[in-house]
Structure 1
Amino acid sequence: MGRDDLTAQMGATVALVVLIDLAFALVVAALLEPWLAGVLATLGLASTAARYAVLGGFVLCVLLWAQLQYTRRELLAEADADPIDPATHPDLHARVTRLASLADMRVPAVAIADTDVPNSFAVGGLRTGTVVVSDGLVETLSGDELDAVIAHELVHLKNRDALVMTLASFLPALVSDEYSLLEETVPEPQRPVVWGAALLGGYLLSSAFIDAPLGSLTGLAQFGVAVALTVVVGGVLLGLFATLIVFLSRRLSRSREFVADRDGARLTGNPAALVSALATLDETITTPERDARRAYAGLEGMCLLPHGFERGDDDGFRVETRSHPPTEERIARLREVAVELERAV
């Protein structure tokens, strides 16, 4: 696949992700409208269409913010990655700076994942991004191999496919229960209070569509049914939308790895170094053993190799990931790049 083909595929993926976001926002608006109709009416939104538009626009803005900002932070947290600076890691920072200059791109932030599992990935942003490498990667690879891996990740940032994958990872991670705003922002002793306040507020708002007196058994039963329907319908549709995004991002993930391998090898002028790095890392961690519920195109789908930053448990389920092409195929294509470079010389 060429860069133009990858660009077209990324454009189609972004367009579909935005359409899915819009569809999900409208679904949430439809589910929330009966609960908030009275409040919105007092604000001057008398028509149902106006209330849908306001609620849908608000949910869409929250989704876009989460995909652009919250997801980046959570991906770094999931990998236990901390930013570094030239003073603490001069060699690694110098490598990234030198290779970014060769690629004619802005120098990205650099972070190190505190794990002995060798891997790397790139998190995209609107203006720049972050290259993440693990302690295990730095300790396992030689200097040339490390340069090759860093060049691979820089290509992901330059081609903007890292940004697309970052955007696409939010809804699948939400469905897989990877993200929980409540757990991160509210201390555990206060969570029952927050849930209680939410239920009380919802119960009061339900008076807009419940035709039984508040406090009566009939009113409580209708409230319970309304909550159940809202949660179940919203959860089912969220799962369907996330499945579509997983399918799209997996297709993109496979394609983008070939392009990053090729262009990264051309950037360093040393395809053999990336071949050696891939072979070494593939032998270090074999097919990951993961809980099947976590088999989505999230952090694992963004890494150089799809084992993420955790070692599999011996008693876990074996999950075949399809987010990356086989390492043998990547190596074979890199050897073709080596032949092309030799002919050019």
Structure 2
Amino acid sequence: MRHVGLKVRMAVVGSLLFAFYAVAAVVVMAMFGTGVWPLVIVGSIAFVGVQYKLGKWMALRSVGAEDLPENQYQEIHHRVESLSRDMGIDKPRLMIARMGVPNAFAVGRKGAGTVVVSQELLRTLDPDEVEGVLAHELAHIRNRDVVMMVLGQGVASIVAIVAQWAVLLTGDNDLADFFLAIVVGQITQMLVMVFVFAISRYREYVADADAADEIGGGEPLARALEKISRSAQRGDTEVDDQVNALCIFGDGSGLARLFATHPPVEKRIERLRA
């Protein structure tokens, strides 16, 4: 069984997210009556489904991603096709974007995935380093961990909205309650996302290891991470927060490691070279 640790963590986090959702549903029924439960279930499923579709579209749109021309980037298309075949997945849609820094990310699921690489990444990295990055992104699609990230964000949004309405409906409905509802919603959403962030950090280690296995060693990806990290430290530009969580490189420290979407790049490089 591939990646038991990741599957167990995803199952645990999935159960916790369902528990958060169940609590939110109970709160809604307490506020509006048990007769609304069919609407709650249908509405929440539709909300998560729409957010999944919109999340993918918005991630691509936020970076201005366009299809990677096969006539100009034949080698990359051939590498991805070969890697996809070896990894047992369909070749994903390949896109390119100008992000200001070398980076890449994957969205979608197995059989309907998309991999985006930045123009800066293709200019900065050597071919074997690009292959390591591509293998990393393909691993995310094969492991289905991108879906968990998107569903987690959807559930967190639902719980936050319910918390806000609970404050508004139980208070005096004045300006103070309005601002309190915003604060409570933000805190509630962040608490739910703590569990999603934990999966996010672990999935990066797994994808790194998968990439190393597929390309015959971790050195090319380690060098790629070093170059990407140096570029990010120069502060050339910032990537949208929603996309940053999906990228191969993100902030591994943040205000607190608890809320970081990526593990420290030094540890990732150390593991790849171990």
Q: Tell me if both proteins adopt one fold, taking TM over 0.5 as the criterion.
A: yes
CA 232–120 in structure 1, closer or farther in 2 if over 3 Å, else same = same
Between the aligned partners of 1:263 and 1:96, the Cα distance in structure 2 is 15
CA 17–128 in structure 1, closer or farther in 2 if over 3 Å, else same = farther
Query: What is the Cα-based RMSD across aligned positions, in Å?
Result: 3.6
Are residue 273 (structure 1) and residue 232 (structure 2) matched? Answer: no
Between the aligned partners of 1:30 and 1:87, the Cα distance in structure 2 is 59
1:255-288 deviations in whole A, cap 9, x for unaligned?
1111111111110103111111111111111286
Partners of 1:121 and 1:153 within 8 A in 2:
yes
Cα offset, 1:174, TM superposition: 9.2
1:291-321 deviations in whole A, cap 9, x for unaligned?
9xx997x32222111059xxxxxxxxx8566
Question: For residue 330 of structure 1, what is the amino acid of its counterpart?
Answer: R
**Higher mean displacement: 88-97 or 252-261:** 88-97
Q: How many residues get paired? A: 261
CA 152–240 in structure 1, closer or farther in 2 if over 3 Å, else same = same
Between the aligned partners of 2:19 and 2:111, the Cα distance in structure 1 is 23
Q: What is the aligned partner in structure 2 of residue 77 from structure 1?
A: 61
Question: For residue 144 of structure 2, what is the amino acid of its counterpart?
Answer: R
Q: Which has the larger radius of gyration?
A: 1
CA 243–151 in structure 1, closer or farther in 2 if over 3 Å, else same = same
Matches within 5 A, 1:160-175: 160-170=144-154
Unmatched tracts of structure 1, length 5 or more:
34-47, 177-221, 309-317, 337-345
Between the aligned partners of 1:58 and 1:236, the Cα distance in structure 2 is 27
Between the aligned partners of 1:10 and 1:253, the Cα distance in structure 2 is 10
Between the aligned partners of 2:269 and 2:183, the Cα distance in structure 1 is 40
Question: For residue 327 of structure 1, what is the amino acid of its counterpart?
Answer: V
Partners of 1:71 and 1:167 within 8 A in 2:
no
Cα offset, 1:168, TM superposition: 2.2
Between the aligned partners of 2:234 and 2:16, the Cα distance in structure 1 is 31
Between the aligned partners of 1:72 and 1:172, the Cα distance in structure 2 is 17
Unmatched tracts of structure 2, length 5 or more:
161-168
Between the aligned partners of 1:299 and 1:172, the Cα distance in structure 2 is 17
CA 333–246 in structure 1, closer or farther in 2 if over 3 Å, else same = same
Question: For residue 244 of structure 2, what is the amino acid of its counterpart?
Answer: E
CA 335–82 in structure 1, closer or farther in 2 if over 3 Å, else same = same
Matches within 5 A, 1:57-136: 57-87=41-71, 89-125=73-109, 127-136=111-120
Partners of 1:116 and 1:137 within 8 A in 2:
no
Partners of 2:251 and 2:261 within 8 A in 1:
no
TM-score by length of 1: 0.65
Matches within 5 A, 1:224-243: 235=182, 238-243=185-190
Cα offset, 1:93, TM superposition: 2.1
1:12-47 deviations in whole A, cap 9, x for unaligned?
22232233344445545665x4xxxxxxxxxxxxxx
Q: Percent identity?
A: 29
Question: For residue 70 of structure 1, what is the amino acid of its counterpart?
Answer: L
Q: What is the aligned partner in structure 2 of residue 247 from structure 1?
A: 194
Between the aligned partners of 1:290 and 1:263, the Cα distance in structure 2 is 29
**Higher mean displacement: 72-81 or 162-171:** 162-171
